[in-house]
A and B are shown apart, each in its own frame.
Chain A
Amino acid sequence: MSKASFVVRRLLQLGVTFWAVGTVLFFLFRLMPGDPTAFVVSAQMTPEARQQVIESYGLNEPLYIQYVRFLENALTLNFGQSFHTNQPVREVIWTYLPNTLVLMLSAFVVAYILGIVLGVLTGWYRGSRFEKTTVVTALTARSLPTFYVGLIVLWLFGAGLGVIPMSGMGTAGQSYDSFWARIFTLDFLHHLVAPAAVLAFYYMGYPLLIMRSSMMEVLSQDFIDVCRAKGLSERAIMFKHAARNALLPIITAAAIALGYAVGGSVLIETVFGWPGLGREMVNAVLRRDFPVAQGTFMVLAATIIILNFIADLLYGYLDPRVTYD
């Protein structure tokens, strides 16, 4: 099969997956107990007013009509208006998604740089105490819930030493014209450090272990000895060969892991008061704000699906042995 038709077929599958996710989501929400208007109405509202609210959201219409409308809208990336705030869902997404992405991306960059370097070193110094400690630390980091580590970090460094801010993306009382104007300030960086570090600590284990096994594979091969015999620098050898081998699994793993990390961002966002998409999604689910919950969930799902797709393509691009089947 040719590369092009492989891509087309995968894209079609992608479309089907999106449709399935959207449909399942739509019906899950409609099955949910609890009145979506419960939060929109106030206790003092008259019953007529309450009915009017329900009608204005189209919630009194038959399910299939609501479903068809949902599909139509989804095709144009229009997820409707929040029941709660009347804000278009698209705007909600634009407000919160960048915050989540900037946090996750910075965490991932740090995690993967750190992971790769430590992976190379542990692979090289195989059997040393350094290797054992590092591997155990990485596994421990992976085993503790991020919110737990986050709270301890806040307690120690925030409340205790006062060196990191307790919450949010910036010092209170300051406003910025745009997202970009904000993220290049020192103040933002100061707020970013703790949550990003906690996440990086959590995610570095994976690249570390991949890199380490790749190193070990390379080291076990004979040609290393040959290279050594030729007097090449040890470090140059180990890095070049091991890195080349590990690059593919690391890149694809990073792409896939990033997708899931964005999906799981709610925990760290809650702990550090980070106004991100994950937190917004959970809030929307809890208050039955279907349009926002659907829209934000679809974005989280899309991040995963698209990053998986990219990982697939990269796999084919970077590894010529892969056939498109």
Chain B
Amino acid sequence: MATQDKSSIFADIDEGEVDQEDENVDRWRRNLRLWRETLAKQWRMLTDDLMVRLAMITIAFFMIVAVFAPFIAPRGPLTRQYEGDAGIIIADWVEPSFLSSESEYLLGTTAEGFDIFSQLVYGSRAALLVGLVAAVFTAGIGTLVGLTAGYYGGKIDDTLMRIVDFLYGMPLLPTVIILVALMGPSLWNILFAIIVLQWRSTARVIRSQALSLRERPFVKAAQVAGASDWHIISRHLAPNVLPLSFLYGAFAIAWAILAEAGVSFIGLGDPNTVSWGTMLQSSRAYSALDFGAWWWFIPPGICIGLVVISGFLIGRGYEEITNPELR
């Protein structure tokens, strides 16, 4: 990323004094306050931008849909729909209700007789689960590793960075495919595989940030004053790299969702879970577009696009915070 050699505007957030007699509880409180202030400040800057606000609203919208999916979706996503009661007559390829007055399905049904709208609603769960969990872990692991490597340097740094180098050598999609083939096609395994690779870039960027922060006077002062490593990392380094962590976290939402869609599209998606990726795969397997059933193919892609672009926009918002020249 182009931001790694830019300085943060939060470089000197610390008050510059270290109270030796602080009790642990007190330290925690101060830490918390500091973090809260930092976050609040960033939040204000972030939400200043209209695009970022829209992105956040989009994500929030999908979150609500995901949480309340059972109430919004009229049917189970993998509950086969039948016509009438006599015999087995699958209600497949039903047109959406806005095109055909006889249809009771908002977006029609699939070739197997599943309700597309319900699948779309439940699909938001898989997407957000993948996106948010990947974001938390990508940012979390990456920040932790980056700070540790950058602050301690030496052998620890070397070892950690060799691991990161190794991960950098792994192509994302092929690696996820191999791991999924190995562990079985479940959403958790896909998620795990994505996380295993994703934290590498966060770690690298945070490390270089930590390397430069380590040399700053306020850190040196704290060291001279005898502050513990943990104190310095949590209090002096972490708040300064936080915007970067969030930036990579936001981007991770986007990449993870795209990766999940890609893996599902190849046919290694979780067969017991409906995600937008598996919807696309299945609509392609049945050539939905050829039969003009665009209502099966188009909506999941748009949903993916919306969540992913929201991730990008929030990430870009953070990029502008960390790199004020962009503003």
Would A308 and B254 be within 8 Å (CB), given that A151-B297, A285-B177, A285-B178 are in contact?
no
Q: Does A286 contact B (CB under 8 A)?
A: yes
Q: A21-B170, A151-B297 are in contact. Are A143 and B309 (CB under 8 A)?
A: yes
In contact, A145 and B169 (Cβ under 8 angstroms): no
Cβ–Cβ < 8 Å partners of A21 in chain B: 166, 169-170
A282 touches B261 (CB 8 A): no
Does B29 sit within 8 A of A, measured CB to CB? no
The answer to whether A267 touches B309 (Cβ under 8 A) is: no
Give the CA-CA distance A21 to B167 in the complex, in Å. 8
Partner of A143, one of B179, B254, B297: B254
Chain B 162-187 interface mask (CB, 8 Å, partner A; 1/0): 10011011111110011101101000
**CB–CB A28/B179 < 8 A:** yes
Residue of B nearest to A156 (CB): B289
Number of interface residues of B (CB under 8 A): 40
Residue with the highest number of chain A CB atoms closer than 10 Å, among B162, B174, B177, B266 = B174
Q: CB within 8 A of B280: which of A148, A260, A282? A: A148
Binding site of A, secondary structure by majority: helix, strand, loop or mixed? helix
Interfacial chain A residues near B262, Cβ < 8 Å: 145, 147, 264, 266-267
Q: Which of B173, B178, B280, B308 contacts A28 (CB 8 A)?
A: B178
Contact with B along A32-43 (1 / 0, CB 8 A): 110000000000
Give A132 to B313 CA distance when docked, in angstroms.
Answer: 13
- In A1-48, which residues have CB < 8 Å from any B CB? 13, 16-18, 20-21, 24-25, 28-29, 31-33
Interface centre among B171, B297, B312 (most CB of A within 10 A): B171
| Contact-residue size bin, chain A (C-beta under 8 Å from the other chain) | 35 or more
Residue pair A139, B309 in contact (C-beta under 8 Å)? yes
Interface of B is mostly: helix
When C-beta atoms are compared, the residue in chain B nearest to A298 turns out to be B169
Q: For the complex, is A238 an interface residue (Cβ under 8 Å from B)?
A: no
The chain A residue with its CB closest to the CB of B307 is A143
- Asked if B326 is an interface residue, CB under 8 A from chain A, the answer is yes
Of listed B168, B184, B297, residue having the most chain A CB within 10 A: B168
Q: Can you name 10 extra interface pairs (CB under 8 A) apart from A145-B280, A147-B280?
A: A13-B162, A32-B182, A142-B309, A159-B290, A220-B325, A249-B2, A263-B173, A266-B177, A267-B266, A285-B174
Closest 5 CB pairs of A and B: A263-B171, A143-B309, A143-B308, A148-B301, A20-B166
**Residues of chain A having any CB pair with chain B under 8 Å:** 13, 16-18, 20-21, 24-25, 28-29, 31-33, 139-140, 142-145, 147-148, 151-152, 155, 159, 210, 213, 216-217, 220, 249, 253, 259-260, 262-264, 266-267, 270, 278, 281-282, 285-286, 293, 297, 300-301, 303-305, 308
